[in-house]
Amino acid sequence: MKFDWVIVGAGFSGCVLAERIASQLGQRVLLIERRDHIGGNAYDYYNEHGILVHKYGPHIFHTKSKRVWDYLSQFTEWRHYFHHVLGVIEGKKVPIPFNINSLYALFPPRYAERLEEKLLENFGFGVKVPILKLRESANGELEFLANYIYENVFLRYTTKQWNLKPEELDRGVTGRVPVYISRDNRYFQDPYQAMPKHGYTEMFRRMLSHSNIKVLLNADYREVINDIKFDRMVYTGPVDTFFDYMHGELPYRSLRFHFETLDQEHYQEVGTVNYPNEYDITRITEQKYLSGQTSPKTTLVMEYPQAYVPGVNDPYYPIPREDNRERYDLYLKEAQRLNGSVIFVGRLAEYKYYDMDQAALRALGVFEKEIAQ
Ligand SMILES: Cc1cc2nc3c(=O)[nH]c(=O)nc-3n(C[C@H](O)[C@H](O)[C@H](O)COP(=O)(O)OP(=O)(O)OC[C@H]3O[C@@H](n4cnc5c(N)ncnc54)[C@H](O)[C@@H]3O)c2cc1C
């Protein structure tokens, strides 16, 4: 059998493109995935206690893009959900991103009030001030506050997460961590915030249930590709692997996930609690908040940041540093030499952190500009 397209990787990028090519162009797609399931890192499943869990860490859907929202809404109903995060700072749980409520949770009311006034005076209400900017521009009492937040909320969390000091990472990443001059405790402010009602995997299953799409699981494309007849390829795996590491390995940060189910209805007050300062974990997420299920049991997932070792664990976060980007550019040039016979899309193929909505938007854009015309 001949296929018009082989798509490597059944994550957000691969599934969106398979769906578009099959339904809009009427062309035949073979989707090859080396894991034993579709969905990539957004894969979820019901565990032995009937609780919907995210195998590769908590995935919260949020977007500003109506286009992405409308597109995905063809394949799922939604459960509206606002994610809340608390951080343990000096034994107290305070809203993250750090906001005015966090101030009052940590400091005596009079002092918190003074700091609030200073923040409003300097930046205005409703503004997100990157922590590094606050640190640079602050003086007097705000300088104390900026250093306090930097040390207690940002520095150790960042070091734990990346095993690098903030100055060893691109400012773009570290600069994004905001202090939010607001009383809004929601983790995101996007207009669309929701979880797929029946889970991500069910959403992907519906996307792929088209007669033009065949899915091959448990298969590394390199082991099967010589036996397949096809015209063009979309590749969503790691770009350095595709080119046999000819320019060296692109580094990633990995994670180990530890799941635990407790015989109690709830463990914590909100979906996620961050531990910037204590323990080896960065955060604990209680899955039931995300799915909205009721159960006498509850499942937690704890995240332990780790070095990425190819073949041993999974590549999760591209490490945002100038030297890594330069190495990626060498691979990009190799990819361009293939003149569109292979299209590289997604988090691993473009060595770029995408949220799910950004991955979907990018795939929709690639479909329009590089495939459909
Ligand atoms: C811990 C964590 C938490 C996250 N939380 C959020 C969140 O809360 N909200 C949000 O919007 N985004 C979140 N994300 C980002 C989200 O996971 C990505 O946006 C999304 O996974 C990108 O999809 P993708 O298809 O590009 O990549 P992937 O999902 O990684 O899919 C790539 C697929 O290619 C397969 N593959 C690779 N090589 C081969 C090969 N040789 N042969 C066959 N198959 C291959 C892989 O097995 C994988 O399934 C999170 C990411 C991580 C790591």
DSSP string, 21-45: HHHHH---EEEE-SSSSSSGGG-EE
Cα–Cα distance, 176 to 179 (Å, whole number): 10
Ligand 1 centroid, distance to 39 Cα (angstroms):
8
Give, rounded to a whole angstrom, the gap between the first and last alpha carbons of the chain.
Answer: 25
Q: Is 314 in the pocket of ligand 1 (CB under 6 A)?
A: no
Angle at the Cα of 355 (from 354 to 357), degrees rounded to 5?
110
Sign of the CA dihedral with 122 first, then 128, 131, and 136 last: negative
Q: Is 106 in the pocket of ligand 1 (CB under 6 A)?
A: no
Calculate the CA 80 to chain-centre distance.
Answer: 19
Angle at the Cα of 62 (from 57 to 68), degrees rounded to 5?
115
Task: Kindly give the confidence (pLDDT) of every residue in the chain, 373 residues in length, as a single tens digit, with 9 standing for 90 and above.
Answer: 899 999 999 999 999 999 999 999 999 999 999 999 999 999 999 999 999 999 999 999 999 999 999 999 999 999 999 999 999 999 999 999 999 999 999 999 999 999 999 999 999 999 999 888 888 876 788 899 999 999 998 888 889 999 988 888 887 776 678 899 999 999 999 999 999 999 999 999 999 999 999 999 999 999 999 999 999 999 999 999 999 999 999 999 999 999 999 999 999 999 999 999 999 999 999 999 999 999 999 999 999 999 999 889 999 999 989 999 999 999 999 999 999 999 999 999 999 999 999 999 999 999 999 999 8
8 A C-beta contact, residue 291 and residue 52: yes
8 A C-beta contact, residue 197 and residue 76: yes
Q: Which residue is it, tokens 């900026």?
A: 146
Q: Is 202 in the pocket of ligand 1 (CB under 6 A)?
A: no
> What pLDDT was estimated at residue 136?
83
> What pLDDT was estimated at residue 108?
96
Cα–Cα distance, 311 to 220 (Å, whole number): 12
Ligand 1 centroid, distance to 120 Cα (angstroms):
39
Cα–Cα distance, 143 to 129 (Å, whole number): 14
Q: Is 348 in the pocket of ligand 1 (CB under 6 A)?
A: yes
Which residue type, as a one-letter code, is found at position 166?
P
Cα–Cα distance, 155 to 169 (Å, whole number): 12
Cα–Cα distance, 15 to 204 (Å, whole number): 7
The string of DSSP letters for 241-277 reads HHTTTTT-PPPEEEEEEEEEEESSS-SSSSSEEE-SS
- Nearest to residue 4, comparing CAs of 12, 24, 13? 24
**What are the tokens at 296?**
């006498």
Provide the pairing of β-strand 272-274 with 283-286.
Answer: antiparallel
Which residues have C-beta within 8 Å of that of residue 193, sequence separation ≥ 6?
60, 61, 62, 80, 81, 82, 83, 186
> What pLDDT was estimated at residue 137?
77
Q: Is 175 in the pocket of ligand 1 (CB under 6 A)?
A: no
Q: Is 146 in the pocket of ligand 1 (CB under 6 A)?
A: no
Ligand 1 centroid, distance to 232 Cα (angstroms):
22
Which residues have C-beta within 8 Å of that of residue 283, sequence separation ≥ 6?
85, 272, 273, 274, 275, 302, 303
Q: Is 305 in the pocket of ligand 1 (CB under 6 A)?
A: no
> What pLDDT was estimated at residue 10?
98
Helix (H) or strand (E) run with residue 164 in it? none
- Nearest to residue 345, comparing CAs of 30, 2, 12? 12
Query: Which residue among 34, 41, 61, 306 has the greatest number of ligand 1 atoms within 8 angstroms of its CB, and so is best to mutate?
Result: 41
pTM for this entry: 0.96
Ligand 1 centroid, distance to 38 Cα (angstroms):
11
Which residues have C-beta within 8 Å of that of residue 247, sequence separation ≥ 6?
240, 327, 330, 331, 334
E strands present in 120-268: 128-130, 178-180, 192-196, 213-216, 229-235, 252-262
Torsional class of 76: left (φ above 0), alpha (ψ -120 to 50), beta (otherwise): beta
Domains of the chain in sequence order: 2-80+193-251+318-371 (3.40.50.720), 97-181 (no CATH)
